[in-house]
């Protein structure tokens, strides 16, 4: 079963995707993570996208579609969770074609419902474990007092360069201008499902599970 998690930055897509990986053997495909990996390993593409990402703008469709295409050549596990992809109508069309080429399709597009005030608060408070990617929040899920990640025990926490108010404003504008039209697109295709995204992590997860098990 392949799904898209759709929502603005800070909606909790990555956190929920990680739960689905653990609980359902699904494979998380986060184009944001792939681009950050390309940057930190210093590839030519990584260097090309660095300034665009820091500004909060979208990288080209061609680059992200290429990244996703590569991943679909591999193991499909319990299905893919598309996290942060697609973000434009051109990417959505390309995803449909790539899935069809691989003899599979999209089961659901899960739209996470949140409000902008909550997003600013979540994003500016966000950090992750540099080793395993566990997500922390200064208010709702602070880093453990012993300084060690509760998931893997590493003690290297990171904050994203683009998790600041200025970049977030651009990211939100990009979302409303270029990504939110996908809500209409998937509604018309008949696979859009809304899930409240503002509750506790487990409450949001229960909403997503209810859709997946329906
Ligand atoms: P994310 O981790 O999903 O918030 O993505 C971080 C940044 O990577 C975004 O602000 C964009 O600059 C870039 N990015 C990630 N996914 C995409 C995508 N599907 N299309 C264009 N740019 C993307």
Mark whether 13 is an active-site residue: yes
**Distance from C-alpha of 32 to C-alpha of 37, rounded to nearest angstrom:** 9
With bands split at pLDDT 50, 70 and 90, how would you rate the model's confidence at 178?
A: very high
Residue 209 pLDDT greater than 90, yes or no = yes
Mark whether 87 is an active-site residue: yes
Residue 198 pLDDT greater than 90, yes or no = no
Pairing of strands 106-113, 157-158: unpaired
CA-nearest residue for atom 1, ligand 1, is 32
Decide if 19 contacts 203 (C-beta within 8 A): no
> What's this model's pTM, rounded to 2 decimal places?
0.91
Residue 205 pLDDT greater than 90, yes or no = yes
Decide if 72 contacts 99 (C-beta within 8 A): yes
3 pairs with which residues across the strands? 81, 108
9 in contact with ligand 1, CB cutoff 6 A: yes
What is the 145 CA–ligand 1 centroid distance (Å)? Answer: 31
Decide if 134 contacts 149 (C-beta within 8 A): yes
Query: Which residue in the list 19, 87, 141, 169 is annotated as catalytic?
Result: 87
39 in contact with ligand 1, CB cutoff 6 A: no
Mark whether 169 is an active-site residue: no
Q: What is the pLDDT of residues 127-171, one digit of tens each?
A: 999 999 898 999 888 999 999 999 999 999 999 888 888 898 899
Residue 147: the pLDDT is 95
Q: What is the pLDDT of residues 74-107, one digit of tens each?
A: 888 889 999 999 999 999 999 999 999 999 999 9
Residues near 6 by beta carbon (within 8 Å), at least 6 away in sequence: 13, 109, 110, 111, 112, 179, 182, 183, 186
Residue 199 pLDDT greater than 90, yes or no = no
State the DSSP string of 141-195: BPPPTTSS-TTT----EE--TT-SHHHHHHHHHHIIIIITHHHHHHHHHT-EEEE
């Amino acid at each position: 079963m392949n799904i898209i998690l759709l929502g603005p930055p800070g909606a909790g897509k990555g956190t929920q995707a990680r739960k689905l990986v653990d609980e359902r053997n699904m494979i998380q495909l986060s184009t944001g993570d792939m681009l950050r990996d390309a940057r930190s390993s210093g590839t030519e593409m990584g260097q090309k996208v660095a300034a665009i990402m820091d500004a909060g703008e979208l990288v080209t469709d061609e680059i992200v579609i290429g990244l996703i295409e590569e991943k679909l050549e591999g193991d499909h596990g319990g299905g893919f969770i598309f996290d942060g992809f697609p973000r434009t109508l051109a990417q959505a069309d390309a995803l449909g074609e790539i899935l069809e080429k691989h003899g599979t399709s999209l089961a659901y597009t899960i739209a996470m419902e949140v409000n902008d005030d909550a997003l600013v608060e979540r994003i500016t408070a966000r950090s992750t474990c540099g080793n395993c990617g566990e997500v922390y929040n200064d208010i709702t899920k602070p880093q453990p007092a012993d300084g060690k990640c509760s998931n893997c025990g590493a003690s290297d926490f990171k904050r994203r360069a683009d998790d600041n108010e200025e970049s977030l404003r651009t990211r939100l504008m990009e979302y409303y201008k270029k990504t939110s039209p996908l809500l209409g697109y998937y509604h018309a295709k008949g696979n859009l499902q809304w899930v409240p995204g503002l509750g506790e992590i487990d409450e949001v997860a229960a909403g997503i599970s209810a859709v997946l098990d329906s």
